[in-house]
Amino acid sequence: MEAAEAEVRLLLQEARESIEAARSYRRELQQRLRGLHQAREQIKDSATLTRDVLEQHFSDLKGTLKKLLDERLMSLLQEVDVIEQESIKPLDECQKLIEHGVSTADDLLREGESAVDGDVGQQNEKLCNFTKKALHIQLDSLPEVPSLVDVPCLSAQLDDCLLTILKNQIFRHGTVASRPPVQLEEFVEKPGGILVRWCKVDEDFVPQDYRLQYRKSAASPFEDVYVGSETEFMVLHIDPNVDYQFRVCARGDGRQEWSPWSVPQIGRTTLVPHEWTTGLEGYSLSSRRNIALRNDSQSCGVLYSKAPTYFCGQTLTFRQTVGQPDRRDSLGVCVEQRNGDDSLQRDKAVCISTNGAVFVNGKEMTNQLPAVTSGSTVTFDMEVVQLGPCSNEGGNFKLRVTISSNNREVVFDWVLDQCCGSLYFGCSFSYPGWKVLVF
């Protein structure tokens, strides 16, 4: 009996495993069916969109060509009108002169015939007057009439090769691509932003520039957010937990037109944006509070973040416009906000001065970075290296810190007496003109 029960239990176990495997197999097949459905929909939707784009483009092209041909025809007709008018004008003037001469000759003939056929008593006087008048008119002077070879003979020269050229150009105009040469590759969450990366997928395509666009919803139009030669871009001013749609295209080397767009993909960030705290008299903030400007106020102190929003494993970036430097200037992170300090060059903080000096817990390191320049970036990267047990009461805690500036970096260990899941960031500048963007 026991052997039979054991065999039944074994069969039941095998049956349950087979059922679970069948369920897993079915789920996988259903997922693949959904993938096939999405692929089919992408092909159909992109084909429909491509047809609409082609029809609209060639409709616009026909309208533009008709307009250009009409404008050219009107220009040529106006040219014919001008030549005709300018050429006929001297002929009209010559015709008036000849007609006036004919009229004068008619009058002279009638007067001469009257003088010849008149009474003998008045004949001498009439003949004398007629002769004087005939001599005055200069009957041997005739106006010059141009010969036909000397006057314009208008014609139109129309080169039939234009049709051949247009035909060849039209037959080569436009292409249909089944795959774009670049595709979106990766979305990296950043506080209040998304780092978008893309890559070339067509080995024969030589890119010159890339063009990245995004939109917040399907009802909104795509907007350009980056055009350049890099293959990644940090998109800022992104609302947390909101889907954004991205697409990218490229322009080939030496070409003017852009390639087809990549397949649109969704990117989002769950990280709240970094913000400077408000209310410190010496600093003015942007509307999003991610840019701080050292103003003309004589008041000084450390401007901290609104909250401890920097977490280990992230990259904290400062980008600045420079003013007059001072050895007490600082950019960095700290465990806690502390009022009354004029710099982050203190304990429980690491920072870089504007002259490139690095400070750990208020002590200057021997390694130094290049001085901060306008438009350059300073980045902080940290990872946890825990030396001892960490509890609510604290413990021996170490962070490995990497600070980078102007293509150089320093790496060191920052030992703390307590666990720190998140850190504040801050800055201090003695003189006005400094502006710092944090992301």
Confidence class of residue 120 from pLDDT cuts 50, 70 and 90?
A: low
Per the model's pLDDT, the better-predicted residue between 349 and 340 turns out to be: 349
Calculate mean pLDDT across residues 273-281. Answer: 91
What is the architecture, at CATH level 2, of domain 283-438? Sandwich (2.60)
**What is the DSSP code string of 46-83?**
HHHHHHHHHHHHHHHHHHHHHHHHHHHHHHHHHHHHHH
For the 182-269 domain, the top CATH level (class) is mainly beta
- 405 pLDDT exceeds 50? yes
Q: Which residue from 305, 313, 322, 321 is spatially nearest to 427, judged by alpha carbons?
A: 305
Confidence class of residue 430 from pLDDT cuts 50, 70 and 90?
A: very high
Q: What is the pTM of this model?
A: 0.60
Q: State the pLDDT at residue 392.
A: 47
Q: State the pLDDT at residue 261.
A: 92
| 183 beta partners | 199
**What is the DSSP code string of 262-306?**
PPPEEE---SPPP-BPS--TTEEE-TTS-EEEE-S-S---PEEBS
- 12 pLDDT exceeds 70? yes
Percent of the chain with pLDDT strictly greater than 90 = 51
Confidence class of residue 388 from pLDDT cuts 50, 70 and 90?
A: low
Q: State the pLDDT at residue 105.
A: 77
Calculate mean pLDDT across residues 49-68. Answer: 92
Q: State the pLDDT at residue 102.
A: 83
Q: State the pLDDT at residue 121.
A: 59
Average pLDDT, the chain: 87
Three-state DSSP class for residue 93: helix
Three-state SS annotation for 340-353: CCCCCCCCCEEEEC
Three-state DSSP class for residue 329: coil
Per the model's pLDDT, the better-predicted residue between 147 and 233 turns out to be: 233
pLDDT tens digit string along 289-325? 999 999 998 888 999 999 999 998 889 999 999 999 9
Residue 437 has which token pair? 């963007």
Distance CA 98, CA 102 (A): 6
Per the model's pLDDT, the better-predicted residue between 397 and 78 turns out to be: 78
| 331 beta partners | 352, 427
Q: 57-61, 115-119, 324-328, 329-333 — which is least confidently predicted?
A: 115-119
Q: Which residue from 351, 318, 348 is spatially nearest to 336, judged by alpha carbons?
A: 348
Q: State the pLDDT at residue 378.
A: 95
The full length of the chain comes to 439
**What is the DSSP code string of 201-249?**
--TT--EEEEEEEEESSTTSPPEEEEEES-SEEEE-SPPTT--EEEEEE
Give 3-state DSSP helix, strand, coil % of the chain, rounded to 5. Answer: 35, 30, 35
Q: 117-126, 149-158, 197-206, 381-390 — which is least confidently predicted?
A: 117-126
Q: State the pLDDT at residue 1.
A: 66
Domain residue limits, the chain: 14-172, 182-269, 283-438
Quick check: 379 and 316 in contact, CB under 8 A?
Answer: yes
Compute how many other C-beta atoms are within 10 angstroms of the C-beta atom of residue 399: 19
Amino acid of residue 256: Q
- 390 pLDDT exceeds 70? no
Calculate mean pLDDT across residues 195-214. Answer: 93
pLDDT tens digit string along 409-419? 999 999 888 88
Q: State the pLDDT at residue 53.
A: 87
Q: State the pLDDT at residue 411.
A: 95
Quick check: 310 and 274 in contact, CB under 8 A?
Answer: yes
Q: State the pLDDT at residue 394.
A: 47
- Which contiguous run of DSSP H or E holds residue 438? strand 435-438
Domains 182-269 and 283-438 share a fold: no
